[in-house]
Amino acid sequence: MDMLFTLDTGTGFWNPLLWVLGTAVAGVIAVFLYSLGERGYKKGTAQTEPFISGNPEPEKGLVHVRSGNLYWGFLDAMDGYYRRLVPLHTGDLDDYVLWYMGITALFFIVVVVFR
Amino acid sequence: MKLNALFNRSLWVYHFNSGSCNGCEIEIVATLTPRYDPERFGIKLVGSPRHADVMLVTGPVVHRMKDRLLRVYQQIPDPKLVMCIGACGISGGVFYDSYNLDGPVDEVIPVDVYVPGCPPRPEAIIHGVVKALEKLERLEGVKA
């Protein structure tokens, strides 16, 4: 029963049984709230389709929000930086090796000249 | 009159404008003001047909709104009632026989209650809601 021990960290404690109990209580509350919902919907009919002000539902692929959209503000704010940096990432290994050799040579020159 | 068992909770209303001049909309909003205060009976406007029990339709159903009216009507869960508010939705009103109408409303979706007027007064709209509930009770009584 080592798995059921209470871990005392000094600032708090952690017990797996309490977590199981908490999850069960949250589940019961969730099921209760779900049971209060509208039961009049008929599955497979327009009643379960999303309401878009009466307009037809677009194809799923057309309204899908890609994960990249989460970073839109970040990319937009740093547009000047990305506009220069992204074209350098060509995906061609030869280019990356060339950059590596070029930067190494530059460092080599700097170290030799300014040592 | 008591509310039917199927409606033994607040009656939520969704409003659909199928091409109205907004005269009926003003009266619907006036109906919801504290002067009449239908919210004390649980009757209130909702923003989605998915939450609605009653659909208020205004306007004569212009060509571009027919599909949308049908879609919204189909999206309301059962049991549902449709109230046609104003002369335009009932007969086309001043737009009768116009080239761009697909209405009146009852030629597109089944209507339970007609509230005439151009626009109808708030008292008439409230009277229409009462008539709609009475009709529902009558229908359920026939089933029982």
The ipTM estimated for the assembled molecules is 0.76
Instruction: For residue A41, give both structure tokens.
Output: 């919907």
Report pLDDT digits (tens) over B95-140.
998 999 997 999 999 999 999 999 999 999 999 988 887 876 776 6
In chain A, what are the domain boundaries? 1-36, 67-115
- pLDDT per residue over B28-82, tens digit each? 999 999 999 988 888 889 999 988 889 999 999 999 999 999 999 999 988 889 9
Separation of alpha carbons B119 and B132, rounded Å: 19
Residue B124 CB neighbours (<10 A) = 16
Sequence spans of domains, chain B? 8-143
CATH architecture of the domain with residue range B8-143: 3-Layer(aba) Sandwich (3.40)
Chain A closest CA to B77's CA: distance in Å?
Answer: 5
Q: Which residues in A lie closer than 8 A to residue B50 (C-beta atoms)? A: 38, 41, 47, 51
Of all residues in chain B, the one with the smallest CA distance to A39 is B77
| b/e sequence A44-68, b meaning 16+ C-beta within 10 Å | eebbeeebeebeeeeeeeeeeeeee
> Which residues of B are less than 8 Å from A53 in CB distance?
68
